[in-house]
Structure 1
Amino acid sequence: MIHLPSPARGPLRALSTRLVAAVGLVLGIVFVVFLDRDGYRDVNEDGLTLLDCFYYAVVSLSTTGYGDITPISESARLVNVIVITPARVLFLIILVGTTLEVLTEQYRTNARLTRWRRLLKDHVIVCGYGTKGRSAVAALRENGFDTRRIVVVESDRAAVRQATSDGLVALEGSATRSSILADAHVKDAKAVIIATDTDEANVLVTLTARQMTAGKVRIIAAAREAENAPLLKQSGAHQVIVSSATAGRLLGLSTSAPPLIDVVEDLLTPGHGMALALRSADRAEVGKSPRKVSELVIALVRHGRVLSLASPECAMIETGDLLVYIRDDTAAPVETTVSRDAS
C-alpha cells in the first residue's frame, strides 16, 4: 500500500463528522416535534409517543413521507415550514456531500498516485524508517535533496505514519519482497539505502535489490556487526556502514583524543559549523592542485576510489574527479551536483 503525504484530514474522520451532524439533526427534530406533539395527528388517533416522534423525524428528513402522521395545528405546520423543511434540505446535503467527498477524495488520491508514478525517477529508496533511516533522510534533506524524490519502504504502520507526517511517500510492506520494491520503481532509482532493524533483513533486501537492478543502482546498507559487512558486500551492497564499529571507534577516540570527537560531531551535526560536502570538479580546476582550490579539499574520488591528498595520484585534479571538501554549514545548504554515473 502506497501512502502519499497529505495535510488534509482522512476520509474516516470526515464521515464521522458528517454522521454526528446527521444524528444531531435527527435528535433536534425529534425534540421539536415532541414538544408540540399535540399538534400532530396519528392514523391511530392515540397521540404521539417518543417513538412516533423519532419515526416522524426520520421519515420527514429522508423525504419518504408516508403520511400516517401529519401536522394539524397551525403551530405544528409553522414548525414544519420554518424548521423541518430546511432541516430536510440540510440532511440531504449532508448525505450527498458525504458521498461526493468520498468519491472526490478517491479520485484525487488516484490522480496523485498516477502522477507520482509517472514522475518518479532518480529517487532514493530508504528501506526502514527507524533511527538510521530517519537520520539518512535528514542528511539528504540537509544536502538539498528534493523530498518528493525520497521513498520510504517500511512494514511497521507507526513508522509509515511517521514518514507520511514528515512529508514523505511511504510504501507499507517488507522491502524483502520484490513486488514492494517494484512499486517503489527500484530500477529507476538513484540509490537504495537499507537500514532495517536486523542484519539478516538487510542482507535479504540487498539481494532482492541487486537481483532487480542488476547492479545498476547504488546500494548502501547498514550493518550492526562488523562480521556481517563482508556478507552484505557479497550480496551486492556497494557500501556498508557498520554502526557498532563506528560507535566503538568514536568511544575510543573520546578517551585518547577528545578534540577529535568535537570535530567529528561538528561535521555530522547539521547547521553547526563545518560539514562534509561533495561536488564535481570544474573545468577550470582540471590540472590544478587540490590544495589551490578555493574550498578546503580533503580527498578526491576518482573512478569510484577515494584518494587521500597525501597520495601522489592527487597531485593534480583530473577530468571527472569528485572533490570532497569542508564547507561552512552555517550557510544555507546547496544541492550537491554529481552525475549519476559518478555517484
Structure 2
Amino acid sequence: MVDEGSGRQARVLLPTPVVGPLRSVATRIGLAFTLLFATVLVVYIGRAGYRDSAGGPISLLDAFYYATVTMSTTGYGDIAPVSPGARLINVVFVTPVRVLFLILLVGTTLEVLAARTRQDWRLSRWRSRVQDHIVVVGYGTKGRSAVKTLLNTGCERTSIVVVDPDPRMVAEAAEAGFVGVVGDATRSSVLRRAEVARAREIVVAVQRDDTAVLVALTARQLNPAAGIRAAVRESENVPLLRQSGADYVITSSEAAGRLLGMSTTQPSVSQVIEDLLEQGRGLDLVEREVRLEEVGKSVQEMGAPVIALVRDGRTLPFDNPACARLAAGDRLIVVRSAEHAKK
C-alpha cells in the first residue's frame, strides 16, 4: 500500500491466495510423490549399476522398493549401488531429493499446522481481551475516512475492528493493522465474530441504505448500550434508521450537496468547513468537558473559540443566553489549530 504523506517508499503487494491447511498438505504430498517417482525412474534407468542381495536383476518393483526405503531414510541395504555411475547418481541426485522429500513431508507440514495453531491461539487471545472497541461496518470510501478520522483523534489501531463482505477490503484493513472480519454484517453471527456485544461504538458505513438499516437493527439487538453512528444516501431513510437503533445519522449525499452549493457562492467558507472535517490538518473541531476552573465563566472567556455548548443533551450555539455561565458537566465544542495541538 502507498501511505500518502508519510514519505515511506511504496510497496507493491500482490494478492495472496487463501489455501486451507488440508489442501496445503495435500499439495506437498503430491510434490513428494513426484520426487519419489523421479527417483524410481533414475534408479530403473541405471538398474545395471545396482545389486540385489537376493540375486537376480533389478525390476521396476525393486526400483520402487529401493526409492521408498531410501527416501524414507530406512535403508535396509539389500539393494545397493555398486557401479561408480550409480554411486555418483546417489550422491548428486538421490541424496538431495531425499532431503527435499523430508522437508516437504515433515518440515512444511509442521509449519502449516503450527501456523494454524498460532492463528487460533491469537484469535482466542484477542476475543478474551477485546472490549470497548469500535466496530466499523464497511471499508469503502466512507469507512476508510471514518477510520482515518478515528486514528487522528487518538484511537488505537487495536481498538478498531473492520467488518466487510469483500475479502480484499478486509485484507487491506488487516494489512493496515486492524482486526478484520469477512462477512455480511446484517447477520448476527458475523457481528458476534466482531464482538459487537462488547463494543463501545458501531460505525455503519455501508453503500446501501437498506443494508444500513438491517445492520443497525442487528447491532442494536446484540448491544443495546453501544452508540451507533450511521450514514445514508437519502434523507427519507433517516427516520427508519433511527427507529432501527441508530443514535446519529448523517445524510452523505445532502452533506456533499451543501458543500458544493456553498463552494459556488462562498468558496472560502466551504474550504474552512472541509478543513474542519479533516482531523489533524489546519483547524480541528474538538469536544471537551468544562474544567473545574472554567465553571462560572462565559464561553467568550475561553482561550480557544467556542462555537457551541452541550448541556443536558442539547447543543446550544455560542451566542445562546445559557452560554453566559458555564456549569459543571457542560461540554464545549472548540475550534483549535492542529499545529498548536501538536506542540
8 Å contact 1:127–1:175 — kept in the other structure?
A: yes
CA deviation vs aligned residue, 1:23-75 (integer Å, no higher than 9, x gap)? 78668867975886542247762788xx9878754552134658785312245
- 1:193 to partner: Cα distance: 0.7
Residue 266 (structure 2) pairs with residue 257 (structure 1): yes
Structure 1 residues 313-322 or 192-201, which shifts more? Answer: 313-322
Cα 1:68–1:273 change in 2 (3 A) is same
Residue 287 of structure 1 is aligned with which of 288, 296, 316? 296
Partner of 2:180: 170
Partner of 2:323: 314
Cα 1:117–1:81 change in 2 (3 A) is same
- 1:76 to partner: Cα distance: 2.9
Residue 222 (structure 2) pairs with residue 222 (structure 1): no
Partner of 1:206: 216
Partner of 2:57: 45
Alpha-carbon separation, structure 1, partners of 2:283 and 2:85: 80
Structure 1 residues 319-328 or 104-113, which shifts more? Answer: 319-328
SS in 2 for 1:252: helix
Cα 1:173–1:11 change in 2 (3 A) is closer
Partner of 1:337: none
Compute the RMSD of aligned alpha carbons: 3.4
CA deviation vs aligned residue, 1:305-342 (integer Å, no higher than 9, x gap)? 222101111122222222222222246769xxxxxxxx
Residue 184 (structure 2) pairs with residue 188 (structure 1): no
Q: Note the residue ranges of structure 1 that are not aligned, 5 or more in a row.
A: 1-8, 335-343
Amino acid in structure 2 at the alignment position of 1:138: K
Q: How many residues align?
A: 323
- Residue identity over aligned pairs, in percent, reads 50
SS in 2 for 1:264: helix
8 Å contact 1:41–1:69 — kept in the other structure?
A: yes
Amino acid in structure 2 at the alignment position of 1:263: V
8 Å contact 2:47–2:58 — kept in the other structure?
A: no
Structure 1 residues 183-192 or 286-295, which shifts more? Answer: 286-295
- 1:276 to partner: Cα distance: 1.7
Alpha-carbon separation, structure 1, partners of 2:176 and 2:156: 13
Length-normalised TM-score, structure 2: 0.80
CA deviation vs aligned residue, 1:9-36 (integer Å, no higher than 9, x gap)? 8884995996798578668867975886
- 1:133 to partner: Cα distance: 1.0
CA deviation vs aligned residue, 1:101-122 (integer Å, no higher than 9, x gap)? 1221122112111111111111
Residue 298 of structure 1 is aligned with which of 273, 296, 307? 307
Residue 141 of structure 1 is aligned with which of 141, 151, 173? 151
Structure 1 residues 317-326 or 75-84, which shifts more? Answer: 75-84
Cα 1:282–1:57 change in 2 (3 A) is farther
Cα 1:204–1:13 change in 2 (3 A) is closer
Q: Superposed, which structure 2 residues align to 1:321-332 within 5 Å?
A: 321-330=330-339
Alpha-carbon separation, structure 2, partners of 1:203 and 1:47: 73
Partner of 2:161: 151
Partner of 1:125: 135
- 1:88 to partner: Cα distance: 2.7
SS in 2 for 1:208: helix
CA deviation vs aligned residue, 1:227-270 (integer Å, no higher than 9, x gap)? 11111112221100001110111111011211111112222335
Residue 80 (structure 2) pairs with residue 70 (structure 1): yes
- 1:175 to partner: Cα distance: 1.4
Length-normalised TM-score, structure 1: 0.80
Cα 1:28–1:285 change in 2 (3 A) is farther
- Report which structure shows greater RCO (CA 8 Å, sep ≥6): 1
Residue 238 of structure 1 is aligned with which of 228, 244, 247? 247
Q: Note the residue ranges of structure 2 that are not aligned, 5 or more in a row.
A: 1-15
